[in-house]
Structure 1
């Protein structure tokens, strides 16, 4: 696949996604004189998942007079927008570096991790989404570098989802005894098989649903939600994959109700609501519902044989983000330049 072909596909995908990445809307509630509106800014795949969580919070004593204004889009873009002045009381991003940007800017306090879940509000794992019936017989990571396999994954320059996906592929090699040189060669081949890099996880799913590609690298929750909405997809949780942890925090000037909502997000009730959209609970003791769209709705979140984490396998996001995604010297940044997948 040439760079020109990738660019043409990317342009067609952009045209299909004219709704925009960060459109704002009123998410809930009425216009009572006593109501308080919270501004929620989050990464794209939360849009559907948050609806029952907002409603659940509004049914509590802390949330009975609260409504929400929302903005969703690619995680990195959303973080930069808040840094640039987008109003936000609660922020919920794909990964920690997008939160750290706001800590560095003085918008989020540096103690944002001081919660029972270390600041994490939702979690998932990296999965491989394929066409119904799995016509290319994709079973795991090694199948992605076979000739003729066309991949879609979001762009690491804008999307947190993309960073999780690529690091999962890297860990597949190094976490199973391979060297970093072998991991680099593996990811390079995977990028050479990549035909499009939409700007967010949600846009990548939309591109795949439009018929582009054989495999979509995605959050498990995004795959489950797509299937629940009738998309003719199958998905595979690889034997080894990466745990995705999505942080949430309040901004320094947010009202007390924002903290109440952030705390509500990690209650058993809210975690069960997030599970309905395919997110794995971040706390114990959640009474899981049947999850429509999961491979097994009654047992929706099987434990992979080997589950890598950013902290244990990449020494945390502070090191990993610089090593792999520095805009000039990052390993993945350079591989994207070499393979013509920077845009």
Structure 2
């Protein structure tokens, strides 16, 4: 059962021009299996999973003779690049708002999220990664803002992952009975302790594994994948964390095979690849051991309090306006006040 249904039951900065040069040219409008290319544009973290899923899709009748031209990078930058003209038949971003930007631009249909899973292809949660053995004895959110604890997290100006991280950090204060002013004070301390704000979630992971910081705020799947790749880190699923939902859509002028590809992502075969890569499946019944998880046999523990953007922040339009609007948002104002504007 997916984490969303369990919960219901239980109660890098890259320039646009550089990005625009990354994608291939869409073959446009011909039928599946006709030597077509799918221009895939995605945020930074699902690359490993997609490489394996692409190979599996190409072994199907729908995917026979289909090639992929892929571009990965910070979610917000990728979305803006597509809006500016980067070829894209299929997009997978970190935030719903990065898809709706393309809806507003006429590049993605406004009913892109009307299906059974709301346009979400994989889930994760926000976790705290620490050095092996947890030398700073980090147990949860309150510990990372103590004096002397150095935080690595991506930059919310470019990275969707950063926005999930900061909403989780803010939300944990509210979930424990704190006021909005106390939550703002917490986020201020968070930025005061930040020693690196790279452009993307993947860049933040690289910064941390290169030796920067004491803690990394990240996706659970990123921490698991890092361990699968031999990186030495531990991670903690905080008592209060946020459900990360990663949206995907085909563009209006994409060939029919792009929809076949999107449909394939909801098959048990594709969802199992997501699972093995550390993502929480959105399709019921997809289970199994996950190498690199804290408990490979039970890789996705249910947090004590699982926040969601829809239920706890009023949805992405409201959350974006309140927290991330460039001139008036809580987070940019705190970044300016603390001088932590990112790399």
TM-score relative to the length of structure 1: 0.90
**Which position in structure 2 is the counterpart of 1:309?**
308
Counterpart Cα distance in 2 of 1:296 and 1:59: 32
The alignment partner of 2:275 has SS state of: helix
Q: What is the CA-CA distance between 1:126 and the residue it aligns to?
A: 0.1
**Which position in structure 1 is the counterpart of 2:331?**
332
**Which position in structure 1 is the counterpart of 2:290?**
291
Distance 1:23 1:301, change over 3 A: farther
**Which position in structure 2 is the counterpart of 1:188?**
188
2:145 and 2:190 in contact (8 A); partners too: yes
The alignment partner of 1:329 has SS state of: coil
Counterpart Cα distance in 1 of 2:19 and 2:126: 22
Between Structure 1 and Structure 2, how many residues are aligned? 319
**Which position in structure 1 is the counterpart of 2:153?**
153
* 1:282 to 2:282 alignment: yes
TM-score relative to the length of structure 2: 0.90
Quote the RMSD (CA, aligned, Å). 1.6
**Which position in structure 1 is the counterpart of 2:6?**
none
Q: What is the CA-CA distance between 1:175 and the residue it aligns to?
A: 1.5
2:23 and 2:39 in contact (8 A); partners too: no
Give the gaps of 5 or more residues in structure 2: 1-11, 25-32
**Which position in structure 1 is the counterpart of 2:264?**
264
**Which position in structure 2 is the counterpart of 1:200?**
200
**Which position in structure 2 is the counterpart of 1:240?**
240
* 1:40 to 2:40 alignment: yes
Q: What is the CA-CA distance between 1:311 and the residue it aligns to?
A: 0.4
**Which position in structure 2 is the counterpart of 1:174?**
174
Q: Deviations over 1:89-113 (max 9, x none)?
A: 0000001111111001001110000
Counterpart Cα distance in 2 of 1:112 and 1:103: 9
1:22 and 1:71 in contact (8 A); partners too: no
Q: What is the CA-CA distance between 1:297 and the residue it aligns to?
A: 1.0
Counterpart Cα distance in 2 of 1:313 and 1:64: 43
Distance 1:87 1:25, change over 3 A: closer
Correspondence 1:89-100 to 2 at 5 A: 89-100=89-100
**Which position in structure 1 is the counterpart of 2:214?**
214
Counterpart Cα distance in 2 of 1:197 and 1:107: 30
1:159 and 1:201 in contact (8 A); partners too: yes
Counterpart Cα distance in 1 of 2:240 and 2:234: 18
* 1:69 to 2:52 alignment: no
Counterpart Cα distance in 2 of 1:61 and 1:284: 25
Q: Deviations over 1:257-304 (max 9, x none)?
A: 101111111121111101111000012111x23211111111111111
Counterpart Cα distance in 1 of 2:220 and 2:193: 21
Q: What is the CA-CA distance between 1:58 and the residue it aligns to?
A: 1.1
Q: What is the CA-CA distance between 1:22 and the residue it aligns to?
A: 8.3
2:20 and 2:82 in contact (8 A); partners too: no
**Which position in structure 2 is the counterpart of 1:17?**
none
Counterpart Cα distance in 1 of 2:253 and 2:19: 25
